[in-house]
Amino acid sequence: QVQLVESGGGVVQPGWSLRLSCAASGFTFSHYGIQWVRQAPGKGLEWVAVIWYDGNNKYYADSVKGRFTVSRDNSNNMAYLQMNSLRAQDTAVYFCARYNSGHEDFWGQGTLVTVSS
Amino acid sequence: DIQMTQSPSSLSASVGDRVTITCQASQDITNHLNWYQQKSGKAPKLLIYDVSNLETGVPSRFSGSGSGTDFIFTISSLQPEDIATYYCQQYDNLAALTFGGGTKVEIK
């Protein structure tokens, strides 16, 4: 069955970096894009970034552009979100999701990132 | 970026009631509109894609309609397990996806 598992969350100070990982299984990873979506405590969903199936196209929300970088390793069925210059407002649960023809049909359980001094 | 205005932000209804949520896009997004359900502490779940297509395994009491800028999500007969927050999402601009603000559905 399709499974996505995020890891790498934690507590960091403002200005620090963190890399999130998304381990995929149960499908042909190289055929699908991967989305990153976050949810601040008690708030709604916010799209963060997307990487195309082949890694050739990447797009970012304005709120993270220039600070976050999305990447993938199709040989190991992994996607990554490198987060630099973290701010308090980046505190959120981060989800990765499989992107399938315009929608996210499978989601991970999320990993919590807390940015606090 | 395309803004998605979802209403109401919350509602309370009785079991068996018909529930309707609206989502308005700031520009024409044709049929590039999805609906997700998120239960407390869980990841979102895709319910409807491309305005009106029911994801596999989703009960038929859920439905969607609309086109252009105005969209409607309906639960024909609210069930206790439908307690959740519902989000619309546009993907007309693939470089800047956006979600609506969410609608929290509670049982009266």
Write down the pLDDT at residue B103.
Answer: 98
8 Å CB contact between A115 and A12: yes
Q: Euclidean distance between the first and final Cα of chain A, in Å?
A: 40
The chain B residue lying nearest A4, using CA atoms, is: B43
DSSP secondary structure, A2-33, as one string: -EEEEE--EEE-TT--EEEEEEEESS-GGGSE
User: Which regions of chain B are under pLDDT 50?
Assistant: none
| pLDDT tens digits, A37-95 | 999 999 999 999 999 999 999 999 999 999 999 999 999 999 999 999 999 999 999 99
- Chain B CB contacts of A104 below 8 Å: 34, 36, 44, 46
Cβ(A39)–Cβ(A92) below 8 Å: yes
With cut-offs at 50, 70 and 90, classify the pLDDT of residue A4: very high
- In this predicted structure, the answer to whether residue A103 has a pLDDT above a threshold of 90 is no
Q: How far apart are CA A81 and CA A62, in angstroms?
A: 15
pLDDT for the residue numbered A51: 96
> What's residue B55's pLDDT?
95
Residues of chain B with C-beta less than 8 angstroms from the C-beta of A65: none
